[in-house]
Structure 1
């Protein structure tokens, strides 16, 4: 017959708090005996595992919330990863905790203290886990980089994990929240079809310099028969099309750059002109990019009267 703690260990991927074991009737002597025999392993002063090897991903999550105790939850980009966010991994597990909790610091954990109602934002799962929307909004509010915060919002929408409307509804319940005004503008851009921070920068630059907003993520079939999507396109009155491709940091990779050049050649036609800019240009020097586009014939917004 299984021990009383074994079912709980199964639910928590073999991670147990000292207090949970004592509540189930496991004595201090029994804990010491299992640790001494090499069957169990202390991971913090209050949490142990029924395995002794390196912790897997799920065990790291449980370690965080059990170490911090009731009133804590997995949050930030860690929670977003649990909800399915790709390519935004961080080394540390983020745990959001009630500001009144007291515990020892653990190097593997990023602890975020808050007076906000964590329990109202929990996802309906066994692991104490923030829902995606409050997790990402809280991350964005307190990350050092506003652009990283905007990028995280764009990523969860682009990857189909949530919608601008759901993020906006959650944001409305979280006020006051740092960067709320910026987030509302970001969500308006995302609702308009922007898929990345660079695309949002293009959209804002167009508004600032009076340029007609582009068609975004338009599908094209290249000469090899592959379907491609362009970043931004403008249809000119003379039948030509100007395409702007915005290059992020990953384009600095030699193999990626080579693939991008090949892609550009294959979707270029006598009536389709493709120009490129770096993401840092459209962010820091949007006027220069807009001036070049205007010189190529990209139209300006017609003013009333």
Structure 2
């Protein structure tokens, strides 16, 4: 088969090739048909052939999407962030960005997202799977969410997992005008730059703004009683010189092992001049005024007018 010239291209694309590529490599449609009939290859879409059979891997599904849509397409959304290393935000469906004017047939497992934006400017440089840069990928994903918390959460996660930095995100917010929820993104990114590392910490900042409390210091490094380095969620310096520390518990903290670990952490970080208090992420979302009331009673100062 023309010296098996297709093998190198297939190896670079997780075993998938478009019919256009096969034709350019000297593999005509009759040879493709024979390979499929013999059970050695499989048609994955009208445009894409796999040189392997069986279920597609995650990487192969992404290649299927971009090869089916053509050379201008890139993997976008959470799938692109996943390729960049984002953890704990998996979605089964793969998003593929395509030019607005392009018409493509549906492919199971692929969400073809049309955009008028310049895809080539958002594309991650270098060889391999065509993917969107992580910043425009997560910003576009967030901008199309119903929940602002989801949009804020993915931005915070990308920074927390060191896939990007606040400065790069602000650059892309400005470069992608118009962008839905751009003012919210700018505020959230500013809060992240100020030290917030999670949605819960962003909720604390929002609570303080809404309830008139001073903003806390966030993610401060402390040495516990065993000499280990710890990072506290939020801290305020009180008028009597003490420090009040607020730790926010998410749902995973309710697990018995995490619960015991948190109790031990609280003991080890406590000191005569450091008051440790806790609240849940649910309280911050649904009853922030109650948390603010208790913090004010404990001495957290009001925000300067």
TM over 0.5: yes
Cα distance in 2 for residues equivalent to 1:272 and 1:24: 70
* Structure 1 unpaired stretches of 5+: none
Cα distance in 1 for residues equivalent to 2:26 and 2:158: 43
SS at match of 2:253: helix
Cα distance in 2 for residues equivalent to 1:214 and 1:144: 29
Cα distance in 1 for residues equivalent to 2:111 and 2:22: 26
| 1:247 aligned residue | 249
Alignment of 1:74-85 (within 5 A): 74-85=75-86
Answering whether residue 32 of structure 2 is matched by residue 22 of structure 1, we say no
Query: 1:302 offset after TM fit, Å?
Result: 4.7
Which stretch shifts more, 250-259 or 58-67?
250-259
| 2:227 aligned residue | 225
Q: Would you identify which runs of 4 or more consecutive aligned residues in structure 1 move more than 4 Å?
A: none
1:250-273 deviation digits (Å, cap 9, x = unpaired): 223333223222322332233322
Which stretch shifts more, 65-74 or 264-273?
264-273
Do the aligned partners of 2:195 and 2:217 also contact (CA within 8 Å) in 1?
no
Cα distance in 1 for residues equivalent to 2:220 and 2:142: 29
Cα distance in 1 for residues equivalent to 2:101 and 2:303: 54
Aligned residues: 303
Cα distance in 1 for residues equivalent to 2:27 and 2:135: 39
1:262-296 deviation digits (Å, cap 9, x = unpaired): 32233223332221112222233222111101111
| 1:151 aligned residue | 153
1:2-41 deviation digits (Å, cap 9, x = unpaired): 4221221122121111221122221122112211222212
Alignment of 1:3-152 (within 5 A): 3-126=4-127, 127-152=129-154
| 1:214 aligned residue | 216
Cα distance in 2 for residues equivalent to 1:116 and 1:31: 36
RMSD of equivalent CA atoms: 1.9
